[in-house]
Chain A
């Protein structure tokens, strides 16, 4: 070929920062508790601040609910239940949920930006996943409100009453949707406690309930830390408790409810195995690993935190994984090009760093990309461990960060054994081009959600929940209604 003027050695073209604008709305300086349809300060007047984990700057102050406030909220929920909500037809209840869904759509960009600022997840995720899914959950459950008898053939269906709901910091708004939508659709009223580090979108959701004209007290939001949650669980006025969070806290809640008739559902931790067979669509499987453990900074209960790869393709998969990880951008959550945002809090960041040390001390080999990371805020580069043993802590324990443990297997049965060799049972992944193998593996994995040739897919119509110590009860789908009704 004849000479050209253009460079023959390639180009270092890359992406300039592309920050999402945050000037089209304004956060309040402080937010009260949302009780009985109004924002009120805590009885004690106590407040705490919530920060942006990418900048470590304070975003707002929120009220710290104490026992008096918990009691007030539960009473407000009870009054609303008895006087208004249980008397309302399903059809009209559903209309409120449709309104809420529509308003979330209208305020979607504001919610996405606040979610990223408060929690650290990339704007692309909150914009494209969290907020649309939250909307979808309200649309889906709105439609069930007047159709419940069809979900439970042969049974008379009634609501349970007042539900206390405690949610985590990894998908703050989405967890509000997962909890509140089915509860309200089935005729219950709610007292919700969002996570200490991510209260803001739950409070904006409370505003949305006001905008939708939701009757006072049907939804209540009390911000606070662990003690607020404990006070809520203890309250005798609850008919139901729903908790998503760590297995340890879940066990404590089950214990504390032991003498009562309060219904309980738990959605806890996991250590899912992502199994790649030699006959998988390998490039797409590698992307599935990335989706499974690196997006949302690995703060996902159903994360594919263990890779089980068939030995015949292990070298290729690891090489492709490294090459793919090299393009993951760790940085400012409000930059539209960021793939991996900030770790939610200093505490969590320290915990993950600790596991990185532990893994190496246990004898595993650590690989981390060497991408640039901001010098402020809590950031960790995507990492994986090879040369791991099944007994290693980094294989047995949930790290809840962008850290993958890689093991190999030779046969299908060995893969199943390894996958099931854990007290957890939330999710699993299987990658193979062979349909029959998919069904054999999904039959064999002891977990509540199995993704075949995909990973981390969620839909309001699809039930989600765990086996074993990953919790019990399901959220989403027809099965997800069961925890919120009384059948006779």
Chain B
């Protein structure tokens, strides 16, 4: 991120990055114009990130819904290619991400491990795109003369709140299984993680991911969790971290449109799990007669 301090008269001043959110494929500031300060654990000021508003979330849902059908209809092969491309792009920016993670408090070994794990996780889920249906779908041996088969289908638009323990990995581990299944996602990062999240936005924007499939917001969890739980055009909510009280309130709000609710542990156990893909899928069963 940026550097403080004055420069000597001949030294070059660096051009600092502005952190914007990714909504509908475009990099935007919050429509509310508000910002949040980000500080390193020692207290050093690092910069500003956007403070997403309910309207930003609303706009993200619109963008996600617009993209959802097209993404669901994309072939499994292409989805896998796109996620693999995201891994390539992230790998290519590994040193930059290590710097970012260090600036927000991770040690170098921890930063290295986290970036590698994030790349590998993208590759892992890319590899599931054209296989999970062979595990979770079925042809069912019904007793009547019908061909009967069950397939998975994405729910549509999924909202995700990332935890704060692993700035990059909490975000990637949440998003990847959601989108590989064909859903569009709006993901919220909070605290210092927001910086890593916004950098990830730049990786995703260069990965051939269609606009609106992945939307990245940053802001305050307590401000947005209610909106994410109650929005009538969101099909599922996945949250990492959060206490009993928050989960209960979310579940109640989700009941408004029967939103499916999935809590994930804050410690990030079980990142590699194809059942996370299944969580945000419906199952559709079709019958057809076998005869002349």
A363 CB, nearest partner CB in chain B, Å: 33
Query: Interface residues of A: mostly helix, strand, loop or mixed?
Result: helix
Which of B76, B84, B126, B131 is most buried by chain A, counting CB atoms within 10 A of its CB? Answer: B131
Question: Considering the chains assembled together, what is the distance between the CA atoms of A95 and B290 in angstroms?
Answer: 43
Contact residues in B for A259 (Cβ distance below 8 Å): none
Can you name the residue of chain A whose Cβ is closest to the Cβ of B77?
A136
Judge if B288 is at the interface, Cβ distance under 8 Å.
yes
Given known contacts A439-B147, A461-B130, A461-B134, A98 and B84 CB-to-CB distance under 8 angstroms? yes
Contact residues in B for A436 (Cβ distance below 8 Å): 288-292
B80 CB, nearest partner CB in chain A, Å: 6
Question: Considering the chains assembled together, what is the distance between the CA atoms of A147 and B134 in angstroms?
Answer: 12
CB-CB contacts below 8 Å: A423-457 with B: 435-437, 439-440, 443
Given known contacts A98-B84, A147-B274, A461 and B288 CB-to-CB distance under 8 angstroms? no
Contact residues in B for A478 (Cβ distance below 8 Å): 131, 134-135
Cβ contact of B292, chosen from A94, A145, A150, A412, cutoff 8 A: A412
Are B126 and A143 interface neighbours, CB within 8 A?
yes
Are A143 and B80 interface neighbours, CB within 8 A?
yes
Residues 123-161 of chain A: 1 if any B CB is under 8 Å from the residue's CB, otherwise 0?
000000000000010011011111100110000000000
How many residue pairs at the A-B interface have CB separations less than 8 Å?
A: 66
Given known contacts A435-B289, A436-B291, A95 and B123 CB-to-CB distance under 8 angstroms? yes
CB-CB contacts below 8 Å: A88-119 with B: 91, 94-95, 98
Question: Considering the chains assembled together, what is the distance between the CA atoms of A150 and B275 in angstroms?
Answer: 11
Can you name the residue of chain A whose Cβ is closest to the Cβ of B133?
A461
Question: Considering the chains assembled together, what is the distance between the CA atoms of A72 and B80 in angstroms?
Answer: 38
Contact residues in A for B292 (Cβ distance below 8 Å): 412, 436-437, 440
Residues 70-103 of chain B: 1 if any A CB is under 8 Å from the residue's CB, otherwise 0?
0000001100110010000000000000000000
A93 CB, nearest partner CB in chain B, Å: 12
CB-CB contacts below 8 Å: B217-270 with A: none
Question: Considering the chains assembled together, what is the distance between the CA atoms of A199 and B129 in angstroms?
Answer: 33
Can you name the residue of chain B whose Cβ is closest to the Cβ of A478?
B134
Contact residues in B for A443 (Cβ distance below 8 Å): 290
Contact residues in B for A136 (Cβ distance below 8 Å): 77
Judge if A333 is at the interface, Cβ distance under 8 Å.
no
Cβ contact of A143, chosen from B131, B147, B291, cutoff 8 A: B131
Cβ contact of B127, chosen from A144, A461, A477, cutoff 8 A: A144
A interface residue count range (under 10 / 10 to 19 / 20 to 34 / 35 or more): 20 to 34
Judge if B128 is at the interface, Cβ distance under 8 Å.
yes
Question: Considering the chains assembled together, what is the distance between the CA atoms of A436 and B290 in angstroms?
Answer: 4
CB-CB contacts below 8 Å: A59-106 with B: 91, 94-95, 98
Can you name the residue of chain A whose Cβ is closest to the Cβ of B84?
A98
Contact residues in B for A477 (Cβ distance below 8 Å): 134
A448 CB, nearest partner CB in chain B, Å: 16
Judge if B120 is at the interface, Cβ distance under 8 Å.
yes
B158 CB, nearest partner CB in chain A, Å: 22
Are B76 and A461 interface neighbours, CB within 8 A?
yes
Contact residues in A for B19 (Cβ distance below 8 Å): none
Contact residues in A for B131 (Cβ distance below 8 Å): 140, 143-144, 147, 150, 461, 478
Judge if B124 is at the interface, Cβ distance under 8 Å.
yes
A213 CB, nearest partner CB in chain B, Å: 15
Contact residues in B for A439 (Cβ distance below 8 Å): 147, 288-291
CB-CB contacts below 8 Å: A256-312 with B: none
CB-CB contacts below 8 Å: B4-61 with A: none
Given known contacts A98-B123, A150-B135, A439-B147, A143 and B130 CB-to-CB distance under 8 angstroms? yes
A106 CB, nearest partner CB in chain B, Å: 13
Are A143 and B127 interface neighbours, CB within 8 A?
yes
Question: Considering the chains assembled together, what is the distance between the CA atoms of A412 and B290 in angstroms?
Answer: 13
Are B135 and A94 interface neighbours, CB within 8 A?
no
Question: Considering the chains assembled together, what is the distance between the CA atoms of A377 and B134 in angstroms?
Answer: 45
Are A440 and B128 interface neighbours, CB within 8 A?
no
Question: Considering the chains assembled together, what is the distance between the CA atoms of A147 and B125 in angstroms?
Answer: 10
Contact residues in B for A143 (Cβ distance below 8 Å): 80, 126-131
Can you name the residue of chain B whose Cβ is closest to the Cβ of A97?
B127
Question: Considering the chains assembled together, what is the distance between the CA atoms of A95 and B120 in angstroms?
Answer: 9
B286 CB, nearest partner CB in chain A, Å: 11
A479 CB, nearest partner CB in chain B, Å: 9
Contact residues in A for B290 (Cβ distance below 8 Å): 436, 439-440, 443
A173 CB, nearest partner CB in chain B, Å: 18
Contact residues in B for A142 (Cβ distance below 8 Å): 127
Can you name the residue of chain B whose Cβ is closest to the Cβ of A150?
B135
Return the 3 tightest CB-CB contacts between A and B, nearest first. Answer: A143-B127, A439-B290, A436-B291
18 of the cross-chain contacts (CB-CB < 8 Å) are A91-B124, A139-B80, A140-B77, A142-B127, A143-B130, A144-B127, A145-B127, A150-B135, A151-B134, A151-B135, A412-B292, A435-B288, A437-B292, A439-B290, A440-B290, A440-B292, A460-B130, A477-B134
- 18 extra interface residue pairs, beta carbon distance < 8 Å, beyond A136-B77, A142-B127: A91-B120, A94-B123, A98-B84, A143-B80, A143-B129, A143-B130, A144-B127, A146-B127, A147-B274, A150-B131, A436-B290, A437-B291, A439-B147, A439-B290, A440-B292, A461-B76, A461-B130, A478-B134
